[in-house]
Structure 1
Amino acid sequence: MSAADLLRRVDWRATGALLARRVLPRRSDYAGLRGSWRADAIAGLTVAIVALPLALGFGVSSGLGATAGLVTAVVAGAVAAVFGGSHLQVSGPTGAMTVVLIPIVARYGPESVAVVSIMAGGLVIVGGLIGLGRLVAYIPWPVVEGFTLGIGVVIALQQVPLALDTPKADGENAALVAIRTLGQADWPAALPALGIVALVIAIMTLLPRVNRTLPASLVAVVVATLLVELAGLGVDRIGALPSSLPAPTVPMVSVETTSALFSAALAVAALAALESLLSARVADGMADDIPRTQPNRELVGQGLANVASGLFGGMPATGAIARTAVNVRAGARTRTSALLHAGVLAVIVYAAAPWVARIPLSALAGVLLVTAARMVDLPTARSICRSGRSGALVFLLTLGATIVFDLVMAVEIGIAVAAVLALRAVARTSGLHREAIPTPDTESVGAAAEHALLHEHIALYRIDGSLFFADVRRFLDELALVADVRVVVLRLSAIRVLDISGANALAEVVADLQRRGIVVLLKGLRPEHRRVVDSVGVLAELQHQAHLFTDLGEAIEHARSHVRRGEAGRPPASAGRAAPA
């Protein structure tokens, strides 16, 4: 059947309806709202208060300005709340995304970010439609923790220019920029800004010990702003903000532009998907009685949020772990709380833009430094490093790559190293063992002596664990040492994992032994391995289909008959098969 015939046979209406049921909003998203609306309203207001300084700070840190951060929190937060697959996720600008955006802004300019956001959103939508959402479950814990700790370090490094009220040095890497900025700073002039940073950090650290219900970050920003106003300190401020959300516009693009920005969009899409799914997984773990996140729908929602954010002149967004955690702890029960958080921020844009414009940038730097410090979980890092060399290596490599390179490359390196170490561990638990051949206890002395003589020419091997590409050469080398043997019996029932490379190795072993005049009998091939074994021709390499057994006793007796008749000394038939034994 041709591809065209297959396309004609597809019921596109049914397929579209199925996709719509999986990814579009539904009435059940708001089940229980009548009983939870008060809790959702309180949670939404709480998250908005926490999100305001973060949205402003991440917008400034990215190089796009505070307006972009607010627009992203409002637009992307609302769209993701409606279309996402999590009931409790809160989306907006994040520190991780800021880390990725800084080199993009430096290389392609601020105007490129809207295009990157739209392109990345499209890629994330496609990922959700084709079912990539469940892949996040395969990311190892040391990779996640190394990634998170690395983000915290990079966010802290990014605040150095703001904390010193000094222009940012040239460069894309946060560590190098921070070092260069420290070298060129005017320290006497930087003292007021450093004092503001210290004040914000002190308030955010001490206030929760006095009253945990007060929004420490917002209180710190308000106190710092009042102090700067009353003392007349000459520190940089956020500056003028629009009194309303900008109108959506489609950025002008060309084939050359999209080609140049595709790699950047791919990195943003990978991070948006990864961080959003990890954040949703955290929310699921914190609220046991809330429906679980639908990962593919969450990707579609985050993709739509990024497209919308780009159209409104915002920056790429993801699910925000810190704001999502605040949402859950504040008692949210439905996605209404995340939607309300976006609405409150929109009201702030309309009603309080002149006041927000007076906030000192150094106050935002203090908020983000505390946020970064809270991402550094030293007990968890110590636990991973003490768990063994493999976990520690993956954790440290991911952490280092996050700081030195970028987040997407860090995750790729971490997963690759974790996969190699996992394969190495599996290979170590596997093995090829030669076993003694069982002899019936009821045999006469003469029969036992005959069998002992026959058994000198029979080798029984058991393959344990996994037979995959990591074991191929080792198994071939061990079986190549078989000498003065006419029949080899391979016990396969203990094999748990058999991939196509392992099956091909098995075919090579059978063919190699039979070229040397040694008959091969297979015992205990599992039904789930039959397909891969058939696909590479293992059974076709046997001298006869009857050389496949389910019972060990029958296989040994068949081997004895071969030795008795001397069939193992005969060369294989020219077609690779012999007459039935």
Structure 2
Amino acid sequence: MTATAPSAAPSSDHSSPTSSTDPAGSSSASDPWGTLRRLRALLPGRDDYTGLSRSWRRDLVAGLTVAVVALPLALGFGVSSGTGAAAGLVTAVVAGAVAAVLGGSHLQVSGPTGAMAVVLVPIVARYGPQWVPVVAIMAGGIVVLAGVLGLGRLVAYLPWPVVEGFTIGIGVVIALQQVPLALGTPKAEGENAALVAARTLAATDWSAAVAPLLLVALGVALVVGLPRLHRAVPASLVAVAVATVVAEVAHLDVQRIGALPSSLPAPHLPVVDLATTSALFSSALAVAALAALESLLSAHVADGMADDVPRTRPNRELVGQGVANVASGLFGGLPATGAIARTAVNVRTGARTRVSALSHAAVLALVVYAAAPLVGRIPVAVLAAVLLVTAARMVDLRAATAICRSGRAGALVLVATLVVTVAFDLVLAVEVGVAVAAVLSLRAVARSSGLHREDPPDEVLPANTERELLHEHIAVYRIDGALFFADVRRFLDELTAVTDVRVVVLRLSRVTVIDTSGAHALVQIVTDLERRGVVVLLKGLRPQHRRVAESIGVIAALRHESHLFDDLEAALDHARAHVRAARVPATMGSAAQPDGPHA
């Protein structure tokens, strides 16, 4: 996989998320024509097939190769979800075709996935397989709505280490999932790929595993070696064909794909029970979240693997995946997502337009009607070989090394995302990775913030005796960086510990961020100091921070509204007036107060 810089995250449709002309954004909400353009950007266009005249042969070969790889996966995921092999195949054909045409990625291959199968198992156990199409339709509608609302742009904010950790983790999971197929051993019980692989190894009959391992070795050698002889050779397809012929000629006793369904069902609306549909809403929401996240990340990975292909339009991708799920449900299929393994095979075998993903669906449909007996003879071991090589190529050691060398924060985010991907699941991995990255970023911002006591600039210091007065009774503090929830305790502790002064001037002009916690901390600081008889003057409160300061009560906490300044010299003049007033005998105090209409 090619190293992907942070800026290589999938852009919003046609432009960056912050662009005022982003057709997937909300900047045109008051412009009906802008809204129409934004919605039009979510639909297919002629530029979807730019370059097809040069790449159509490679696209067709890639589609054929992906179809061969996708076939056993679709059948297997259908079985493992509890809905049956036919449902998995229907999903690969219907959702694969619809997402290829309507989706926002030129290279994405969609269909049933292992992560989705895991999510569906408890739904099938609780409600029955007949409700899975209903979940697919409901989840599809939610994903479409997310795309129309422009939520696909959020994936652009995923940190680079999270994406790389996710990609490497998925590569590891794909490799682990091939262990039972490579050994010709029945898959052990369990949902975690690492645990299943370990249990499978423990239960393997190694004498029976020799034949499938030889086919795996042959497949890996062909997939790796043939492109070195000529890049145009469809190595994966040749490897599958050669291994199949070898298995047939040598009469090897190895596991084959086996019998396939003979037809696709007709589309129909599932019978809907309102009570059960309401109960399924939370499940549909979880399915929609997984479908959106896995599809966007898979497309992002594909973008990094092929630099000469237009970037994914994330909002359109969500719309396409949502419609694909609705269509799959209407045909009795499963919820679908962008499939990282099949997408990676698609890219690595030379695909450059969405015709490859469309042809993959067409080949699968053709297999159902015409070539089921022939394809059923393919050894699953050679498919494991293809996926093992694909998984290895997804691990970009150069990018991972660069991230780890950049600092402990990036390395920690990458490793955390990778470990959770392998040990748990994709959605949790992204959540953990983003959470760790956010905490480390907040820590870095907090460390860059500071509270500094400083001497007044020379140009505003008065002469002689006044200079000593200023130093002894007036304290000037400068707050740099962010004043927010992650650092308010330190500011509180330092400022409320001020003693032996009569006026504190807080310079806020270098504050870049003030959140509600930071503003509340200022209220506490001002209130505590004023309670002890220390006058607080604020200098340089930025206009963009004044709203939160006023709403939380910072201005109201000051002794007088005139204690807010834009100029340091004026603030120090006012502070000196307070110090002088404090030296006047108490009998004259009321007349000597500096605050008032003319302060």
Cα distance in 2 for residues equivalent to 1:231 and 1:569 = 112
Residue in 2 that maps onto 1:6: none
**Matched AA of 1:38:** S
1:130 to 2:149 alignment = yes
Residue in 1 that maps onto 2:479: 463
**Matched AA of 2:546:** R
Residue of structure 1 aligned with 2:445, choices 404, 420, 426:
426
Note the C-alpha offset of 1:481: 1.3
Residue in 1 that maps onto 2:232: 213
1:188 to 2:188 alignment = no
Residue in 2 that maps onto 1:4: none
1:272–1:318 Cα contact (<8 Å) kept: yes
Would the alpha carbon gap of residues 19 and 569 (structure 1) be closer, same or farther in structure 2, given more than 3 Å must change? farther
Cα distance in 1 for residues equivalent to 2:294 and 2:358 = 19
Note the C-alpha offset of 1:522: 1.0
**Matched AA of 2:109:** S
Residue in 1 that maps onto 2:456: 437
**Matched AA of 1:209:** R
Cα distance in 2 for residues equivalent to 1:478 and 1:285 = 48
Note the C-alpha offset of 1:568: 12
2:148–2:319 Cα contact (<8 Å) kept: yes
1:512 to 2:512 alignment = no
Cα distance in 2 for residues equivalent to 1:496 and 1:569 = 42
Residue in 1 that maps onto 2:67: 52
2:59–2:353 Cα contact (<8 Å) kept: no
Residue in 1 that maps onto 2:558: 542
Would the alpha carbon gap of residues 262 and 231 (structure 1) be closer, same or farther in structure 2, given more than 3 Å must change? farther
Residue in 2 that maps onto 1:9: none
Cα distance in 2 for residues equivalent to 1:251 and 1:140 = 41
Would the alpha carbon gap of residues 50 and 530 (structure 1) be closer, same or farther in structure 2, given more than 3 Å must change? farther
Q: Which ranges of structure 1 fall in alignment gaps of 5 or more residues? A: 1-12
Note the C-alpha offset of 1:91: 2.6
**Matched AA of 1:82:** V
Residue in 2 that maps onto 1:489: 505
1:439–1:451 Cα contact (<8 Å) kept: no
Q: Deviations over 1:236-279 (max 9, x none)?
A: 22222234433224445656755776565444433322233234
Residue in 1 that maps onto 2:400: 381
2:109–2:346 Cα contact (<8 Å) kept: no
1:157 to 2:176 alignment = yes
Cα distance in 2 for residues equivalent to 1:321 and 1:568 = 79
Trace 1:143-154 onto structure 2 (pairs within 5 A): 143-154=162-173
1:463–1:492 Cα contact (<8 Å) kept: yes
1:227 to 2:246 alignment = yes
Cα distance in 2 for residues equivalent to 1:26 and 1:149 = 30
Would the alpha carbon gap of residues 126 and 63 (structure 1) be closer, same or farther in structure 2, given more than 3 Å must change? same
1:46–1:327 Cα contact (<8 Å) kept: no
Note the C-alpha offset of 1:21: 4.8
Cα distance in 1 for residues equivalent to 2:267 and 2:44 = 30
Residue in 2 that maps onto 1:5: none
**Matched AA of 2:478:** R
Cα distance in 1 for residues equivalent to 2:493 and 2:180 = 60
Residue in 2 that maps onto 1:357: 376
Trace 1:326-405 onto structure 2 (pairs within 5 A): 335=354, 338-405=357-424
SS of 1:233 mapped into structure 2? coil
Trace 1:165-184 onto structure 2 (pairs within 5 A): 165-184=184-203
Cα distance in 2 for residues equivalent to 1:100 and 1:290 = 28
Give the TM-score normalised by structure 1: 0.86
Would the alpha carbon gap of residues 153 and 135 (structure 1) be closer, same or farther in structure 2, given more than 3 Å must change? same
Q: Deviations over 1:439-461 (max 9, x none)?
A: 44896xxx422232233111101
CA RMSD of aligned residues (A): 3.4
1:562 to 2:578 alignment = yes
Would the alpha carbon gap of residues 266 and 383 (structure 1) be closer, same or farther in structure 2, given more than 3 Å must change? farther
Residue of structure 2 aligned with 1:406, choices 425, 429, 443:
425
Moved more, 484-493 or 500-509: 500-509
1:528 to 2:557 alignment = no
**Matched AA of 2:154:** L
2:93–2:364 Cα contact (<8 Å) kept: yes
Note the C-alpha offset of 1:108: 3.3
Cα distance in 2 for residues equivalent to 1:521 and 1:353 = 82
Residue in 1 that maps onto 2:124: 108
Give the TM-score normalised by structure 2: 0.83
Residue in 2 that maps onto 1:79: 98
Would the alpha carbon gap of residues 527 and 54 (structure 1) be closer, same or farther in structure 2, given more than 3 Å must change? farther
Cα distance in 2 for residues equivalent to 1:62 and 1:398 = 24
1:25–1:82 Cα contact (<8 Å) kept: no
Would the alpha carbon gap of residues 52 and 287 (structure 1) be closer, same or farther in structure 2, given more than 3 Å must change? closer
1:41–1:340 Cα contact (<8 Å) kept: no
Would the alpha carbon gap of residues 431 and 400 (structure 1) be closer, same or farther in structure 2, given more than 3 Å must change? same
**Matched AA of 2:212:** A
Residue of structure 2 aligned with 1:500, choices 516, 529, 539:
516
Cα distance in 2 for residues equivalent to 1:147 and 1:397 = 9
**Matched AA of 2:500:** D
1:106–1:172 Cα contact (<8 Å) kept: no
**Matched AA of 2:493:** D
Cα distance in 2 for residues equivalent to 1:329 and 1:39 = 17
2:482–2:513 Cα contact (<8 Å) kept: yes
Note the C-alpha offset of 1:430: 0.4
Would the alpha carbon gap of residues 357 and 330 (structure 1) be closer, same or farther in structure 2, given more than 3 Å must change? closer
Residue of structure 1 aligned with 2:111, choices 74, 81, 93:
93
**Matched AA of 2:65:** V
Residue in 2 that maps onto 1:300: 319
2:75–2:89 Cα contact (<8 Å) kept: no
Would the alpha carbon gap of residues 207 and 26 (structure 1) be closer, same or farther in structure 2, given more than 3 Å must change? same
Residue in 2 that maps onto 1:8: none
1:486–1:568 Cα contact (<8 Å) kept: no
Cα distance in 2 for residues equivalent to 1:54 and 1:32 = 25
Would the alpha carbon gap of residues 90 and 472 (structure 1) be closer, same or farther in structure 2, given more than 3 Å must change? same
Aligned residues: 557
Aligned-pair identity in percent equals 64
Would the alpha carbon gap of residues 351 and 72 (structure 1) be closer, same or farther in structure 2, given more than 3 Å must change? same
Residue of structure 1 aligned with 2:469, choices 433, 445, 453:
453
Residue in 1 that maps onto 2:260: 241
